[in-house]
C-alpha cells in the first residue's frame, strides 16, 4: 500500500495547478478510504513545486489592481484570490505531511480535508477567471505567501498559530466586504463562490485553533499568551482590524487572543 507521506509529497511536488488540485483531492480521498498506509517514510520539501506562471513578486512590486468594477480590476481580484487558494493547498498538505506523524490521525484527517477544500476553492476560482476570458497565471502574484510555512517548518505550534489563526483568520475579516462588493456589481455567481469559501474558512480556522488549544493545554500553557508570543516571534506583518469578531468566535478564536496585539 502506498505511504501517506509519499502521496502527500507527490501532491506537493506537482507543479501544474490543475494537476495539484486533482492530486490533493485524490490524496484526501485515498486516506479517507483507508488506501494509504500510515508511514512517514519521506520528508516534505522545503518548497512545493510551482508552475512557471504566475510570476511571483514581493508585495511592494505587485501592480495595482485597478478599479474594482472594471474588467481589469475584476480579473485582478479573482486572480489574487485564486493564488491565495492555490498556496493554501500546499500549506494544508505540508501541515499534514510535516507534522502528522507526531500529531496523529485526527490531525492528518483534519488537514487533508482542509487541503481538499482549498483545491476545490482553487478550481472554482480558476473557472471564474476563465469565464472572464483570463486564466490563473495570467498576472503576477504575491511571492511571500509560503514564507510563514518555511519559517515555522520546525514548530507545529508556531505553524498553527500563524497559518490558520492569523493568515486564514484574516480571510474571515476581509471576505465579507469583498463579497458585498462583488454582489453590488451584479455578480451573484461570484458572490456564491465567496460565500462558500467563507463558510469553509471558518471551519479551517476552527481546526487550527482546536489543535493549537490541545497542544497548549497539554503543555500547561495559557493558549492566549502562547499564541501572542508565537505571533510576535514568527509573523512579520501586523494583526490589524477591522476584525470579523463573530466569524472568528465561531471558529473558537475569541478577542482575548488578538485584541491585545492588534495594531
Condensed to tens digits (0 to 9), the pLDDT of residues 30-67 reads 999 999 999 999 999 999 999 999 999 987 788 876 65
The model's pTM: 0.96
Omega before residue 103 within 30° of 0, cis: no
* pLDDT tens by residue, 174-227: 999 999 999 999 999 999 999 999 999 999 999 999 999 999 999 999 999 999
C-alpha to C-alpha distance for 125 and 56, rounded to whole angstroms: 18
Per-domain boundaries in the chain? 1-37+65-145, 148-263
CB 185 within 8 A of CB 233: no
- Here the cell at position 60 is 511592494
CB 42 within 8 A of CB 128: no
Amino acid at each position: 500500500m502506498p505511504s501517506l507521506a509519499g502521496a502527500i509529497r507527490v501532491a506537493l511536488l506537482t507543479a501544474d495547478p490543475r494537476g495539484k488540485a486533482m492530486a490533493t483531492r485524490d490524496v484526501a480521498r485515498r486516506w479517507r478510504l483507508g488506501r494509504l498506509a500510515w508511514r512517514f517514510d519521506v520528508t516534505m520539501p522545503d518548497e512545493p513545486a510551482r508552475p512557471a506562471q504566475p510570476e511571483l513578486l514581493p508585495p511592494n512590486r505587485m501592480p495595482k489592481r485597478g478599479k474594482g468594477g472594471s474588467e481589469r480590476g475584476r480579473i485582478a481580484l479573482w486572480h489574487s484570490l485564486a493564488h491565495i487558494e492555490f498556496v493554501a493547498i500546499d500549506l494544508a498538505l505540508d501541515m499534514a505531511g510535516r507534522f502528522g506523524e507526531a500529531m496523529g490521525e485526527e490531525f492528518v484527517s483534519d488537514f487533508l480535508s482542509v487541503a481538499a477544500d482549498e483545491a476545490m476553492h482553487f478550481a472554482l476560482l480558476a473557472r471564474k477567471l476563465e469565464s472572464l476570458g483570463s486564466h490563473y497565471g495570467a498576472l503576477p502574484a504575491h511571492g511571500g505567501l509560503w514564507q510563514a510555512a518555511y519559517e515555522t517548518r520546525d514548530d507545529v505550534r508556531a505553524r498553527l498559530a500563524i497559518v490558520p489563526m492569523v493568515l486564514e483568520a484574516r480571510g474571515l475579516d476581509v471576505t465579507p466586504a469583498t463579497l458585498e462588493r462583488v454582489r453590488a456589481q451584479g455578480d451573484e455567481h461570484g458572490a456564491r463562490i465567496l460565500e462558500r469559501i467563507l463558510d469553509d474558512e471558518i471551519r479551517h480556522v476552527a481546526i487550527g485553533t482546536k489543535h493549537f488549544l490541545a497542544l497548549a493545554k497539554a503543555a500547561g500553557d495559557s493558549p492566549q499568551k502562547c499564541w501572542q508570543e508565537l505571533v510576535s516571534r514568527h509573523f512579520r506583518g501586523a494583526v490589524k482590524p477591522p476584525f470579523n469578531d463573530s466569524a472568528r468566535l465561531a471558529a473558537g478564536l475569541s478577542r482575548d487572543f488578538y485584541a491585545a496585539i492588534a495594531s
